[in-house]
Amino acid sequence: MKRFVILVVGIIVAILLIFFLYRYYFVFGRGTKAGELNFFVQKGYIWKTYEGKLIQSGFKPQNLGGVQSNEFQFSVTDERVARQLMSASGKSLELHYKEYLGALPWRGYSTFIVDSVISVTDPNTGQKMPF
């Protein structure tokens, strides 16, 4: 009987571990987004995470009769990428991101994690900026 209980508990723990890994560490999708960086901040009480918002061109209906801009909210875990984004506020960016199924507090508030900056363009001159 004791062996059976240990086996059942082991199977339950293994299933919970597989579910946790799939939900929070499996990369569901990869892609790029382009737009103007609205804000980028570091915040949090226990885990300081980098959070940002990219405003994309175009509009989408908020509800029947309303209009709202397309916003892409994201988190950043890499310090190097965070420094690049801190210096690019108000510029047009193209970002590469990974999408996860769930957010973790030490990784950020969003399920979209930006892992690299593809390009930075000054909207006034239209020239790509070095970063």
Find residue 99's DSSP bridge partners.
29, 112
How many Å apart are CA 75 and CA 116, to the nearest integer? 11
DSSP of 83-125, one letter per residue? Answer: HHHHTTTTSEEEEEEEEESS--TTT-SSSEEEEEEEEEE-TTT
Provide the residue-wise pLDDT of the chain in tens; the chain has 131 residues: 889 999 999 999 999 999 999 999 899 999 999 999 999 999 988 999 999 999 987 666 656 655 566 889 999 999 999 999 998 888 899 999 999 999 999 999 999 999 999 998 877 777 777 66
Can you give the pLDDT at residue 121? 87
Can you give the pLDDT at residue 33? 93
The answer to whether domain 28-121 has CATH 1.20.1260 is: no
Can you give the pLDDT at residue 60? 60
Phi, psi (degrees; rounded to nearest 5) at 82 = -65, -40
